[in-house]
Structure 1
Amino acid sequence: MSGKETTGQAIARSLVAHGIDTVFGIPGAHMYDFNDALYGASDKIRFIHTRHEQGAGYMAYGYAKSTGRIGAYTVVPGPGLLNSGAALCTAYGAHAPVLCITGNIMSHLIGQGRGQLHELPDQLATMRGITKTAERINHQSETGSVMAEVIGKMLSGRKGPGAIEAPWDVFGQSGPDLDLPIGASAPHPAVNPDRIAAAAALLSGARNPMIMVGGGAADAGAEIAVLAELLQSPVTSHRSGKGIVADDHPNYLNFVAAYEYWKKVDVLIGIGSRLELQFMRWKWLPKGLKIIRIDNDPTEMVRLKPDVGIVADAAAGTQALVNALAGSRREDRTSEFAELNNEARSRFSHVQPQLAYLDAIREALPRDGFFVEEVSQMGFAARFAFPVYGPRQYVTCGYQDNLGFGFNTALGVKVANPDKSVVSVSGDGGFMFGVQELATAVQHKIAVVAVVFNNSAYGNVLRDQKQAYEGRYLGSDLTNPDFVALGESFGIRSFKVTSPGELKNRIEEALSLEQPVLIEVPIEKGSEASPWPFIHPAPHAE
């Protein structure tokens, strides 16, 4: 190769080489040379500018979470990076490969504490605290190796976010054209046949096994379904695992139904899951329970030690277990699972008005559409009341449960999946965290249907203050704008609906418009039934 390129140009070329076709973000002084390099690569990389750094981070998260591919964003250092920090910690908690590219102050002033624009005491350490990996490019010649190192680590084992910074002066630094290595994920651990044999032996005597899947099993749905059919075992999930085995598969158990089955489970098979449902939400274990885990993260076998731990890719480990169990025959139990699902549905049918509205959304949303939840009364109920039919189609924030992520994340989901329908549900509180990104949706023609359930409150806080603090309300009541007028002021088609049937019709109409749409649904304050008895059920009596 001959010629010269800047660090910024080399970063842009590396992004293209890694298959990254979209960068979200906001330009800024520290980043100008990189921003200009993105302009030069605009035939290969789409740049979507946002109205807040948090929006950029969440859009990258939505892109990554819905595809399994890298979602990239760029913001200025210091306050810009910190504004996007919630999205990075969400990506860390939900194992999404989000790449942050940011700057730093002038290289000769880093660590001097001179108070230069956007200076943090130790920005690199800050980034390392909320990502899987973070590095600095100190010189143009390091660009290729640093990019490959960070991206390789992000994609290896349990996926996660990464961050790359370069000092202000280094972005424009030029040097010879670089060879740019490609950061590849490390090979999956080889499946240990002894561990498979031990798991098969445990299962050969199991009368009531249960499979629990998490986000780490997103690409193993077919293998897991075969295993469930072979064992005549139910499969259940909580959030990120929704849709890996479709809700209408005969072996799938809604987790409310699975809780009833739990009392007789003798072997729990966790695949790509932290087993949060069983150990942190159900909080009790059946007597004599044995645990098998399949996970590509060996530290999981330390954090929650199973009887048999299989360190392997979810699909490969599950297929090996299927092979070991081939030939076994069990009585069909799918009618039992169907009855449990029906009973569960009847038990949580009183969680209203959430269920009626969620049913309306499910009827309007195509089978392969994306549903983006939010920390809200609708979002909580959706965990058990919204059927999902494919992996990654239910987009959640994982254990961070961070208010306000939903609408911005949905924009990233739609950018990554332009030919699929995307519906976002938010409460009025969470929606206002990122309302400014309505402008981004209009400017970049991002056709998300945003449904805002307006109960004029932080609903969970209001309920807790009423029930546990004798009505001593503090900061839970909200004064809101006219959401329809607000949406229209941004140039967005906006509607107000007051019934589930009307919502279904409006969503169907909105999806046909192929443009951003805002729908407000007024809800009487404090009227929603609590979903929490089903998410955190009381332990079974002995």
Structure 2
Amino acid sequence: MMKKITGGEAIIDSVIANGVDTIFGIPGAQIYPLFDGIYKQKLNLIVPRHEQSAAYMAMGYAKSSGKTGTFAVVPGPGVLNTAAALCTAMGNCSPIVGLTGQVPTSFVGRGRGHLHELKDQAGTLKSIIKDAFTIDNPQQTSAIVNQAYETARSGRPGPVSIEMCWDTMAAVDEFEALDPKPAAEAGPELNLDALKAAAELIARARKPMIMCGAGALHAAEEVGALAELLNAPVTGFRSGRGVVSEDHPLGMGPVAARQLWDDCDLLIGIGSRLEMPYMRWGNYMQYEQKPSRGPKLIRIDIDPAQMEIFAPDLGLVGDSAAVCRALYDQLQGRMNPDPAWLDDIATAKVVAWRAIQKVQPQLSYLSVIRDVLPRDGFYVPELSQMGFATWIGGLPVYAPRTFIDSGYQGTLGFGFPTALGVKVANPDKAVVSVCGDGGFMFGAQELMTAVEFNIGLVTIIVNNNSYGNVRRDQALGYGARYSGSELATPDFVKFAESFGAAGYRVHTPEQLKPVLEKCIALNQPCLIEIVCERGAEASAWEFIHPKSAL
């Protein structure tokens, strides 16, 4: 159907056709018609206080829901402000679409110095995200928007952008809305020869292990069935946590997996870059194109490039759910795993849990949070002492998508704004963000966004008046010359109250429990400060980069 509307409105019509009901964004001159379209269509608009947060919120929305997140910012500096979030979303495979403007058509590529002009905006973005689309012909608006959303969510998901020139976005024209293509089926066609070879390799294994990444989040049922057929423990480092619940007999955290690694004779990596066993447990400073040690390796990944970046013994290119189903069918009645492997798995989990208890006070606080947080509640860590303690399994994860990490980018400051997006996507579920004082201050202004839009996130700030990990590294490796690692911080309770949020302060895990229970029940913006002495937290790094089993 043809409609006489502005280019901005046409973009929004096509965005809605792709199933979007929420946009995170900040208006500005070049994209006024876009926001006019948002207003007319009565979309849920969340307006953060910084453009970077708009992209982080879209990422949290996408990562936690499996939907495609959408944000809108002005071109030039607005887009550049989102860059940290965009490369984070690229790293943790989050499907998000950024909507932006461009200088007027006649100025494109001229270098005249128009408002917010970049030398090559789309080219700049393409260097860090999956793709960048430009709508030059307004009649192609619907087709290009559809293509952008398909690109974001298909194959290895990731961020894309859409730009339209200022004058094109404001001009009224006749637009036709095209229906988006149906969601792609289960990826590329499976290579049957490779599938049979993989089944042969798996059937001979006595002590297999499965390691999941973000590419397995939608395949929990299929991964679980395959694991039970193989009696294989299932683990993950960050994004793949909870594909099989870590309180299931076969589900385990990273430290427990390291206990079994030396005896494992086959690793099946599912939608994972396998950073943990081959980098964290190996040489983090030396690139290897294929493993030089360890068990046989089968990789399942929808991205064929991964098979060249890190070459397995056998690669299966395809959607993880489809490949796991096919392997399950191939292996029926053929498995003969070592019966002692189940006992080894149970022992490894107990040994690991006991060992990591030395990482205090983080583990005591995490135990309280895990006890209070519902099984389907969401936990968003930060690059902090508490965050690193979750990497070693200090907070068991019970369901996929409930542990939202930054992935390999390790982006300080991502946690709080990302958690706001998680809560917007899941308003009826508990969401807890745990930050250090340093990381929280990267986006502290978004507490106003939480209050304005009544985003019921519970934010815990562990205040140790420092960039704690930097300070420890300077203590151990640089003669305690603390260069830029010690911080002054505000009174976080008064800070919260000044924004209209509830603020609390605790000093012990025992004090945290009733306060956290109260905050989750309130389902309103709440901030809890945990007071921690500078330098008091034990390091988790011996478990993140272990030289050997315990």
TM-score (norm 2): 0.96
Query: Comparing 370-379 with 112-121, which one deviates more in the overlay?
Result: 112-121
CA distance in structure 2 between the partners assigned to 1:475 and 1:346 by the alignment: 35
Q: Does 1:499 align with 2:497?
A: no
Give the structure 1 partner of residue 382 of structure 2. Answer: 374
* Residue in 1 that maps onto 2:286: none
Distance in structure 2 (CA, Å) of the matches to 1:147 and 1:183? 11
Alpha-carbon distance in structure 1 between the residues aligned to 2:545 and 2:327: 32
Q: Match of 1:119?
A: 117
Distance 2:193 2:2 in 1: 53
Cα distance, 1:493 vs. partner? Answer: 0.5
SS in 2 for 1:394: coil
In the other structure, the counterpart of 1:203 is: 202
**Secondary structure in 1 aligned to 2:223?**
helix
Q: Give me the whole-angstrom Cα distance separating, in 2, the residues matched to 1:3 and 1:310.
A: 46
The CA deviation at 1:280 is: 1.0
Equivalent residues, number:
539
Q: Deviations over 1:16-52 (max 9, x none)?
A: 110011000111111111111111111xx21111111
CA distance in 1, matches of 2:549, 2:354: 19
1:186 CA displacement? 4.1
For the 8 Å contact 1:262–1:286, the answer to whether it is kept is no
Residue 82 of structure 1, aligned match among 80, 87, 91: 80
Task: Tell me by how many angstroms 1:67 deviates.
Answer: 1.1
Whole-angstrom CA distance in 2 between matches of 1:238 and 1:313: 20
Give how far 1:336 is off: 2.5
Contact kept, 8 Å, 1:18 with 1:183, in 2: the verdict is no
Query: Which segments of 5 or more consecutive residues in structure 1 lack a partner in the other structure?
Result: none
Equivalent position of 1:488 in the other structure: 497
Does the 8 A contact of 1:63 with 1:413 survive in 2? yes
Question: Which of 175, 178, 183 pairs up with 1:177?
Answer: 175
> Which residue identity is paired with 1:15?
V
Deviations 1:215-274 (A, max 9, x none): 100011111112111111111110000111100110112210111210111111111111
What is the CA distance between 1:540 and its match in structure 2?
6.3
1:185 Cα deviation (Å)?
Answer: 4.7
1:154 matched residue in structure 2: 152
Measure the CA separation in 2 of the matches of 1:2 and 1:268: 54
Tell me the alpha carbon deviations over residues 161-202 of structure 1, each in whole angstroms, 9 at most, x when there is no partner. 010011111111222131324155544112222212111111
Question: Whole-Å Cα distance in 2 between the matches of residues 278 and 15 of structure 1?
Answer: 40
> CA separation in 2, counterparts of 1:116 and 1:308?
53
Unaligned runs of 5+ in 2: 284-290
SS, match of residue 316 in structure 2: strand
In 1, the alpha carbon distance for the partners of 2:292 and 2:111 equals 57
Equivalent of 2:105, from 104, 107, 112? 107
- Which deviates more, 329-338 or 166-175? 329-338
Partner of 1:311: 317
One-letter code aligned to 1:245: V
Alignment correspondent of 1:296: 302
Question: Which residue of 1 is the match for residue 459 of structure 2?
Answer: 450
Matched with 2:140 is 142
Q: Aligned residue for 1:36? A: 36
Q: Which one of 324, 347, 351 corresponds to residue 339 of structure 1?
A: 347
1:232 and 1:332 in contact (8 A); partners too: no
> In structure 2, what is the Cα distance between the partners aligned to 1:540 and 1:67?
36
Residue in structure 1 matched with residue 10 of structure 2 by the alignment? 10
Matched, 1:219 2:218: yes
Q: What SS does the aligned partner of 1:177 have?
A: strand
Map Cα deviations across residues 343-383 of structure 1 (whole Å, 9 max, x no partner).
01111110000000000111110110000010110011012
Q: Equivalents in 2 of 1:429, 1:174: separation in Å?
A: 47
Using structure 1 for the length normalisation, give the TM-score.
Answer: 0.97
Alignment of 1:53-72 (within 5 A): 53-72=51-70
Give % identity.
49
Q: Equivalents in 2 of 1:488, 1:181: separation in Å?
A: 47
Shift of 1:335: 3.3
Cα distance in structure 2, aligned partners of 1:154 and 1:186? 12
Q: Trace 1:231-380 onto structure 2 (pairs within 5 A).
A: 231-283=230-282, 289-327=295-333, 328-330=335-337, 331=339, 333-380=341-388
Picking from 478, 481, 501, the partner of 1:469 is 478
Amino acid at match of 1:314: S
The one-letter code matched in structure 1 to 2:429 is K
Partner of 2:287: none
Structure 1 residue 539 displacement after superposition = 4.5
Residue type of the alignment partner of 1:134: A
Cα deviation, 1:37-83, whole Å, max 9, x if unaligned, reads 111111xx211111110111111010011112111000111111111
CA distance in 2, matches of 1:403, 1:279: 24
Deviation at 1:152, TM superposition (A): 1.3
Partner of 1:24: 24
Secondary structure at the residue paired with 1:258? helix
Q: Once structures 1 and 2 are overlaid, which stretch shifts more, 256-265 or 320-329?
A: 320-329
Would you say 1:96 and 2:94 are equivalent positions?
yes
- Equivalent residue of 2:358, what SS? coil
Determine the C-alpha separation between the residues in 2 that align with 1:179 and 1:15: 10
Q: Would you say the 8 A contact 2:13–2:177 is kept in 1?
A: no
CA distance in 1, matches of 2:15, 2:364: 44
**Any idea what SS the aligned residue of 1:88 has?**
helix
> Which secondary structure does the structure 1 equivalent of 2:433 belong to?
strand
The change in CA–CA distance for 1:126 and 1:185 in structure 2 (over 3 A counts) is: farther
Separation in 1, partners of 2:3, 2:423: 38
Letter in 1 for 2:375: R
Query: 1:52: which partner in 2?
Result: 50
For residues 139-172 of structure 1, give each alpha carbon's deviation from its aligned partner in whole angstroms, at most 9, with x where no partner exists.
3212012111211111111000010011111111
Deviation at 1:459, TM superposition (A): 0.5
**Which 10-residue stretch deviates more, 388-397 or 196-205?**
196-205
Shift of 1:333: 3.8
Q: Verify the 8 A CA contact 1:368 1:393 in the aligned structure 2.
A: yes
Question: Which letter maps to 2:331?
Answer: L
SS at match of 1:395: coil
Partner amino acid for 1:8?
Answer: G
Q: Name the amino acid aligned to 1:194.
A: D
Question: d(CA) in 2 for partners of 1:326 and 1:27?
Answer: 56
Q: CA RMSD in A?
A: 1.5
Instruction: Say which is worse superposed, 288-297 or 345-354, in terms of deviation.
Output: 288-297
1:526 aligns with 2:532: no
Tell me how far apart the structure 2 counterparts of residues 310 and 3 of structure 1 sit (CA, whole Å). Answer: 46
Q: Is the 8 A contact 2:95 2:157 kept in 1?
A: yes
Contact 2:105–2:168 (CA under 8 A) maintained in structure 1: yes
Q: Partner of 1:357: helix, strand, or coil?
A: helix
Displacement of 1:3 in angstroms is 4.2
Task: Tell me the SS of whatever aligns to 2:202.
Answer: helix
Distance (Å, rounded) in 2 between the aligned partners of 1:363 and 1:456:
27
Q: Following the alignment from structure 2 to structure 1, what is the Cα–Cα distance between the partners of residues 312 and 258? A: 20
Partner of 1:221, secondary structure, is helix
CA distance in 2, matches of 1:520, 1:180: 50
